[in-house]
Structure 1
Amino acid sequence: MMQLITWLLRLIIFVGLVCFSMINSENITLNYYHDRSLELPLSVVLLFFFGLGVVLTLITAPSKTAAKK
């Protein structure tokens, strides 16, 4: 039963991300140096920085095993 709930939650998240990407498909220009720029869809930029935040949180958060000691 728990596996069914997990898969349904994953499906809901996946459908939500697909809808999010379809809504935010406009291109934006990232200016990261004076003469350098990159044109990407807004959804790609937002998902990249969201993923970067998740990775940084996982790296900096104390692990469960370290907290038990």
Structure 2
Amino acid sequence: MRYLVWVLRIVVFILVLLFALKNTGPVDVGLYAEYAIRGVPLIVVMLVLFVLGALFGLLAAMPALMRRGREARRLRRELDRLEDRLKHPVTPTAAVAPETIAPMAPL
């Protein structure tokens, strides 16, 4: 399975590399109003937009990742508490009268 993943990675890398080599022509990038950058290689524009998209995707996923981390820490603390309770059971020191647990009902 590991080898199949590596083969797929290499194939995707080669396809992206060939696509990048075919798209090196200069393009004009219009930013605001009349401001434009002229003669930027298309592959540079694509790379910058890919990185920006990846960063925005990570920022969008951060709240869910942080929530999952807090839940994992809470569950780990609860598991530790329950394991500690199993290791050190609490034994009552004195006998408890049945009336203190469930009061006797009149007949």
TM-score norm. by structure 1 comes to 0.71
Tell me, yes or no, if the aligned pair for 2:29 and 2:37 is still in contact at 8 Å: yes
What stretches of structure 1 of length at least 5 have no aligned partner?
none
1:15 maps to what in 2? 14
1:5 maps to what in 2? 4
Tell me, yes or no, if the aligned pair for 2:30 and 2:36 is still in contact at 8 Å: yes
The one-letter amino acid of 1:58's match is L
Q: Distance in 1 between matches of 2:54 and 2:19?
A: 18
Task: Provide the aligned C-alpha RMSD in A.
Answer: 2.2
Tell me, yes or no, if the aligned pair for 2:28 and 2:36 is still in contact at 8 Å: no
| Alpha-carbon shift at residue 42 of structure 1 (Å) | 1.2
| Alpha-carbon shift at residue 35 of structure 1 (Å) | 4.4
**Structure 2 CA distance for partners of 1:35 and 1:19, relative to 1, 3 Å:** same
Please give the secondary structure, in 2, of the residue aligned with 1:37. strand
What stretches of structure 2 of length at least 5 have no aligned partner?
72-107
- Higher RCO structure (Cα 8 Å, ≥6 apart): 1
| Alpha-carbon shift at residue 18 of structure 1 (Å) | 0.8
Please give the secondary structure, in 1, of the residue aligned with 2:24. coil
| Alpha-carbon shift at residue 38 of structure 1 (Å) | 4.1
Max Rg structure: 2
**Structure 2 CA distance for partners of 1:8 and 1:25, relative to 1, 3 Å:** same
> Higher strand proportion, which one?
1
Poorly superposed stretches of 4+, deviation over 6 Å: none
2:47 maps to what in 1? 47
TM-score norm. by structure 2 comes to 0.51
Identity in percent: 27
